[in-house]
Amino acid sequence: MRVWPVLPVVGLLVSSLAACDSAGRTYSTGASDIYVAIGDSYTAAPRTGFPDGDDGCHRSEANYPHLVAKVTDADLHDVSCSGASTTQLTDPWKPGGVHLVAPQLDALNDETDLVTVGIGANDYHLIGIVFITCPALAVREPDADSPCTDAAEANPNASLKDLLSQMEDNVTDRLKDVTDLAPNADVLVIGYPSIIPAHGTCDELPLAPGDYPLARRIIDGINTSVAAAADRAGVRFIDTATGSEGHDICSDDPWIAGVHAEDGHAAPLHPYPEEQEFVSRQVLDAIG
């Protein structure tokens, strides 16, 4: 995949405002700069810390945007929202059916200096296939080895390839909107972490044994499509899957909670604080 460099003009515009961490490292986004975080629950990181707002988005004050802002002293506008798809970047909605939330792209303007975008997995229920549909089929058909895979293969009108292609187009369009609305910003697209084990199964991810390969294909496909969308839109993709290998749901040191999340540290099937700290370091490396 082609990696796009930071535009030199952005570095020049913010160099006088750059922040330093405790080790004296300088960042391109710093004090007085505006940082907008866009994304779904893997950005919002529900239950990893104190809640940020009561709008139903379940953002955490310990998510990676807050961690990055704490180091850089940037002015953070975190509009990430649990359950968001690319549609919620342009349309208002009511997460949880209660409070009306503005489109996430409304937070952008030509004064925005840094944007992180973590979106795509909720389009067409893609991650829901892994976390909801496949476990439900495993319960309904306990003697079947791969009921979810079998159901997917029996539905030619909703092939995984086609769904991922459509999701890639959606993300590409929204990223182009981001660069139009925030023309002076450094835009980083954040990939999804390693969620599914490369081998084996576990009770914390209750799929039928033969459906784990499908789950891996979906998660890998989401990341591949999001990376391709970033490339098409001319912005940088941050790979978080490679560095989080060995910390999947079924690992001995999980960074993603299983169905029985450690109380007070994460929502089920969502990132633990360790994963958010890792992603924050990836972002800081990208703007350092």
List active site positions: 41, 270
Q: Reduce the DSSP state of residue 77 to 3 states and report it.
A: strand
Report helix, strand or coil for 261: coil
Amino acid at site 180:
D
Strand partners, 35: 76, 114
Give the span between the Cα atoms of 27 and 74, in whole angstroms: 10
Structure tokens at 53: 């707002």
> How far from chain centre, in Å, is Cα 157?
27
* Nearest-angstrom CA–CA distance, 50 and 80: 15
Cα–Cα distances in angstroms (integers) from residue 271 to residues 64, 66, 173, 178, in the given order: 11, 15, 27, 25
The CA radius of gyration of the chain, in Å to the nearest whole number, is 19
Which residues contact residue 85 at a Cβ distance below 8 angstroms, ignoring those fewer than 6 apart? 40, 119, 120, 122, 123, 170
Contact 230, 175 (CB under 8 A): yes
